[in-house]
Amino acid sequence: MWGDKSVLVRLYGDHTEEFIDRSIENMLFALLSERGFAPTYYGRFKNGRVEAWLDARPLEPEDMGQTEPINYLQMIGRELGIMHIMDIPEDRTPVLWTKIERFEKLAMEIELEDPVKNAALEELNLADLHQKLQWLKSVLPSNHNHDGEDLLDDLDTDEITKQAVAFASDVVFSHNDLLSDNILHNPDWDRVQIIDYEYGGYNYRGFDFANHFCENCGFELDLALYPSIEKQFAFFKAYMSTAAPKTLAQLEANRESKAFFHALYDVVNRYALASHLFWGYWALVQAAHSKIDFDFFEYAAKRFKAFDVHREFFIGSS
C-alpha cells in the first residue's frame, strides 16, 4: 500500500539489461500510462519501477482464443488495434532483426561450465540456426529486400493480396510480447488491459500478430492451441475495427474482406517463424544467466522445432 493506494514494485532480473533498455522501457511505460494505456506510473529507481496495482487477473493461454462466454479474442484484437495506431516518439526502425541478431550474438558468446548444458547447447546447432535466420530475412521484410519493397514488387497477384501484404508489413508501435500474463481482465471491465512493455517498440504489424498467436500455445508450446484460420479471421476483424475501421468497412462493402483476411493469414503466419527464432535465442541467453527455475534450454529447443513445423505448414519446402 502507498497511502490508500495499492502499488506494484517491479524489480528487474539479473542481466536483463543485456537485452532490455530499461531507460526506454520506463519512458514508454510513463507515456502509455499518461494515455491511459498502462497502469499509473509512480516512478523508477535503480533496479525497478513503482506502478499502480490493478485489481484484475492475468489471462491463461487458453483464454486468449476464447470467444464465449467472454470474448477475450475480440477484446485483445480491439485493444491491440488501439495500441498500434498510437504515435509514439521513438525510433521507428523495426526492432525485429536488431533484437534477433542481438540475442543470436549473445547466444554465440555463451560459455557454460555445466557439461550437460553444454551438450544441450551444441545439440541445437547454432550454425544451422544462423542459416535459417538468413533465409527468413529473405522471405520477410528486411535489409535483404529493401524492407519488403522488393517482395511486394515481385508479387504477381491481385490487388487485395498486395494490400494485405502491405498491411502486415506496416511498421507500427508494437508490444512484441503479448502473452497471456501480459493481458489483464476484471469481470467488471468491457476490455482487457495490456501491461509490461519491456520489449515494446516499432515493428512489423504481422510480427505482433503472429507472436501473439504463438503465445496461445503457452510455455509448453502446444501447437495444437495455435489459432485456427477461423479464429485468426475473427481476430483480424476485431483488430481492424479499431485500427483501420474505414478499410474494414470498404472491404466489407465490396465483399472483399474474406479474400483480404485469407491473404493476411498467409503473410502474417510467416512471422511466426520470426517469433520462434526471437524467443528461442532469448531462451538461450536466459539459460546462461537467469536464476528462475525453468528449463530454458528445453524451451529454446521447442521454439526451434516449432520453426521447422511452421515453416513446412505455412511456407512449404521453399
Domains in the chain with CATH codes? 1-53 (no CATH), 56-314 (3.90.1200.10)
What pLDDT score was predicted for residue 7? 78
284 and 297 Cβ atoms separated by less than 8 Å: yes
C-alpha to C-alpha distance for 122 and 243, rounded to whole angstroms: 44
H/E segment holding residue 274: helix 271-289
> Nearest to residue 197, comparing CAs of 211, 183, 185?
183
What pLDDT score was predicted for residue 3? 43
Mean pLDDT for each consecutive 10-residue tract of the chain (318 residues)?
61 64 77 82 75 86 96 98 94 96 94 83 93 98 93 90 97 98 95 92 98 98 97 99 98 97 98 99 91 92 98 84
pTM for the structure as a whole? 0.91
H/E segment holding residue 163: helix 159-169
What pLDDT score was predicted for residue 2? 39
Grid cell listed for 193: 488491459
Phi-psi region of 44 (alpha: psi -120 to 50; beta: other; left: phi over 0): beta
What pLDDT score was predicted for residue 201? 94
